[in-house]
Amino acid sequence: MAGAGFESLERCLEKHLPLADLQEVKRILYGKETRKLDLPSRAFEAASKGDFELQGYAFQAVAEQQRRPRTVRMGLVQNRTPLPADPVVKQITALHRRIEAIVEVAAMCGVNIICFQEAWTMPFAFCTREKLPWTEFAESAEDGPTTKFCQELARKHDMVVVSPILERDTEHGDILWNTAMVISNSGAILGKTRKNHIPRVGDFNESTYYMEGNLGHPVFQTQFGRIAVNICYGRHHPLNWLMYSINGAEVIFNPSATIGALSESLWPIEARNAAIANHCFTCAINRVGEEFFPNEFTSGDGKKAHRDFGYFYGSSYVAAPDGSRTPGLSRNRDGLLVTELDLNLCRQVNDIWGFKMTGRYEMYARELAEAVQPSYSPKIVKE
C-alpha cells in the first residue's frame, strides 16, 4: 500500500500519459472538465510560505432566463497533526494556529463556506481504546474554545465554518459525541449535527468512546445555500446521504479520517456516487499523514502490536450532481481546495435525470418498515 511517497493519482496520470490519452482518461474518470479558478497570486504565495497545497476549480451550470446564477465558493481543508500526539493543550493550540493560517488564505480566495476534517482538533486516537489523555480533547459544542475560535474566524472573514469536533455533552451526563458544529458567517451558532454511523472495523474503535448520533439529518440554511454534514463512516450508507438530500441539502460535506489500507479504493467513488444519486454537490475531506501513539495497541487480527493507525491519504475532492468532480488534493500534504459551485446545477440535473421524481419512496418506506420487524421474512420467491 502506497504511503507518503505516492503524491496522487492525478500527478501519476499527468506524468505518464500523453496529453490526448490523459484528456480521455480524465473525461471517463472525472466527467465534464472543471475550469481552473484564477486565484490571487498572494494566496499561492501564502500557501507556499505556509507549506500547504492550494488548488481551485469551478463547476458551471447552464445560464437560465428566470434565475440568476447561485454562485458560492467552498473551501475544503485537509491537514496532518503538527505535533506528537501528546500533550493535549499544545496540540489543540498548534492545530488552531495551523487552521487559522489556512483560513486566511481561503479568505483571500473568496471562500464563503469552509469545512475542516473529522475531529480536526486532535489526533485520531480512537484506535488506541485508551480513555486518557484522548478524552481530554473533548469540549463543549456550544461554548468550548474551538467553537469560540471558529466564531471569531466566521465573523472576521464573513465565512460559514463547519467544525467537526469531539463533543463533551455536559447537559446529558458528560457523554461524548462525534459532532460537527455549523457557525454562520455572522459568527452565530447555526446548529450542530452528529455522526449517525459508528464503525466497528479494523482499528476504528470509536464505539469505545461514543455511540451513534441522535440528531437525525439536519440541513442548515446559510446565507450561501443549504448545507449538511455527513460525517466520515456515514458515506458508506446510501440512505444517510438520501435523508440529507430529502431534507433539502444542496451541498453535503463528508469530513473524514480514513486510511489507505481500508478505504482508498472506495474513496473516489462514494461521495461522487452520492452527488449523482441525490442531485447535489458533495465535498469529501480526509486528513493526511501518519499518527503515532505512546503505547502499542493491537487490531484483533493476530498481528503484532503497533503504535500507528495507518496512512491517512488526503485526496479531498468535490463532486457535482452531473457526475463531474475536481481533481483531488495530494495524498501527502496539507491542502486547501477552493471550489466554485453554481447551485442552480442541482435543479438542472434533477430535471434531466429525475431521480427524485422516479424514486419509489413510499414503497421503500413501507418495505423498510416491514424489514425492521422481528417477525420479518425476506421476500424470496422459490420454486
CA pair distance 197, 205, nearest whole angstrom: 13
The reply to whether 329 falls in a domain is yes
Residues 6+ positions from 221 with CB-CB distance below 8 Å:
none
**How confident is the model over 171-186, as pLDDT tens digits?**
999 999 999 999 999 9
Residue 1 has pLDDT above 80, yes or no: no
* Arithmetic mean of pLDDT, 214-222: 99
What pLDDT score was predicted for residue 2? 60
Between the CA atoms of 348, 340, 219 and 367, what dihedral angle is there, to the nearest 10 degrees?
Answer: 50
Q: Mean pLDDT over all residues of the chain?
A: 95
193, pLDDT greater than 70: yes
Rounded Cα distance between 1 and 139, Å, is 35
- Total domains, the chain: 1
- Whether 2 maps to a domain, the answer reads no
Assigned domain for 3 exists: no
Which residues constitute the domain of residue 216?
9-371
Catalytic residue annotation? 118, 195, 232
Residue 203's pLDDT band, with cuts at 50, 70 and 90, is confident
Task: Express each pLDDT in 96-126 by its tens digit.
Answer: 999 999 999 999 999 999 999 999 999 999 9
211 lies in a domain?
Answer: yes
**What's the pTM?**
0.96
Q: Is the pLDDT of residue 138 over 90?
A: yes
d(Cα 169, Cα 101) in Å, to the nearest integer?
29
Local confidence band at 262 (pLDDT 50, 70, 90 cut-offs)? confident
The share of the chain scoring above pLDDT 70, in percent, equals 98
Report the C-alpha gap between 127 and 50 in whole angstroms.
30
Q: Is the pLDDT of residue 84 over 80?
A: no
- Cα gap 335→329, rounded to integer Å: 7
Compute the average pLDDT of residues 283-310: 90
Predicted confidence band at 239 (pLDDT cuts at 50, 70, 90)? very high
- Tell whether 192 is covered by a domain: yes
CATH code assigned at 161: 3.60.110.10
Within a domain: residue 157? yes
Q: Is 117 a domain residue?
A: yes
Residue 377 lies in a domain: no
